[in-house]
Amino acid sequence: MSDKLIEVATTDAPLLARARAAMRGRTEIETALSEVAVRLRQARGAVRPEEDVLDVALAAVVAGEKVPADLADRVLAVRRSNETAFAEAGVLGPLEHRLRERLLALHRERVGDALNVLATELDAVLTAAGPVLAELGSNVDDAASAIEADRVVQWREVTALAARYDELRRAQRVLVSAAVTPQAHVSDRVSPEARSLVDDFGIVRDAGLHYPEVGTGVNRSEVRTGEVRIFSGRLVTSDHSDRPARACPWLTGDPVADLRFVTRADVQPWVPAINELTGARDEHQAWTQDEARAEAERLPGYEPETFMRTGRTLPPPPAALIDRLAREELGEPV
């Protein structure tokens, strides 16, 4: 398991459970894993040290009784019981490992079914949120202003919908993490890479139209840009930020504000499939490189590197060397 899986989802998320249940075959594997875990605990707990028999015999002698006649039989019984427990634990451990591997493979194969459940939930939330947000008005953004504007009922409805929307996005990160993180396991953990992938490209389509700095972690309007050059076909810059980057407008930390943003007419919220998600990232990265390269080429004194992806371009060998090598290969005298 990757040591980068450090962020844990804090919700038991019935929506996440419903999404996972949509993966055909997953319930059976999870049931088997639960059974194996119980039997493993029982097998490991059944192991008894042989010294227990000696302790019983010693206690009997101290109490004035004779040494038990069946002392050897008792030791053999403990050994047989331990051998059975060791054997069961020895087969259940690898079985549990294989079940977890199969669960991960099934998750990656059928995560699209789970994401479809979230997409359906997103449609339901947005459909319900549009009219309520319109009634609430843009000037109401907390309970106090809702009371003052006599919009308490609408505020309660919006906060409930915002909570559903926030739960949906947290479930999305969990599902995507197990599908795209190398050496992951299926759990409620979210890798930093998966979180960035979903947050940058999995919440709204064409994220760069609303926040050009998406995918970089840097707000370019607040950056002093140093040397810019092209190396091996890619832009290389030395950037130094004076202030921390602003948050994406769809990730403000306020579920109501986030819900408001994705209900805007010019925004297309989505729950993309894995290939759509990674495709959006790759397309944005390619566009960013093209734009940055064009910008760098317009800078005064721009000199591109002479290195290509395959290394430095060398001049062709002299004709005399080619002729000599050819004659040596053919076995002719030099």
The whole-number pLDDT of residue 168 equals 97
**Which domain range does residue 315 map to?**
212-247+273-334
Residues 310 and 196 placed together within one structural domain of the fold: no
How far apart CA 301 and CA 296 sit, in angstroms, is 10
Residues 46 and 141 placed together within one structural domain of the fold: yes
The whole-number pLDDT of residue 239 equals 47
Task: Give tens-digit pLDDT for 4-60.
Answer: 443 434 444 489 999 999 999 999 999 999 999 999 999 999 998 888 888 888 888
Residues 120 and 256 placed together within one structural domain of the fold: yes
Residues 88 and 158 placed together within one structural domain of the fold: yes
Q: Is residue 2 part of a domain?
A: no
Residues 243 and 253 placed together within one structural domain of the fold: no
Q: Flag whether pLDDT at 178 surpasses 60.
A: yes
Residues 56 and 69 placed together within one structural domain of the fold: yes
Structure token pair of residue 143: 């309970």
Q: Are 202 and 16 in contact (CB under 8 A)?
A: no
The whole-number pLDDT of residue 232 equals 44
| Number of domains comprising the chain | 2
Helix ranges restricted to H, the chain: 14-21, 26-45, 51-62, 71-136, 143-148, 152-180, 192-201, 207-210, 255-262, 274-297, 319-330
Residues 179 and 323 placed together within one structural domain of the fold: no
Residues 28 and 175 placed together within one structural domain of the fold: yes
Q: Is residue 77 part of a domain?
A: yes
Q: Kindly state the average pLDDT of the residues 86-90.
A: 94
Residues 235 and 89 placed together within one structural domain of the fold: no
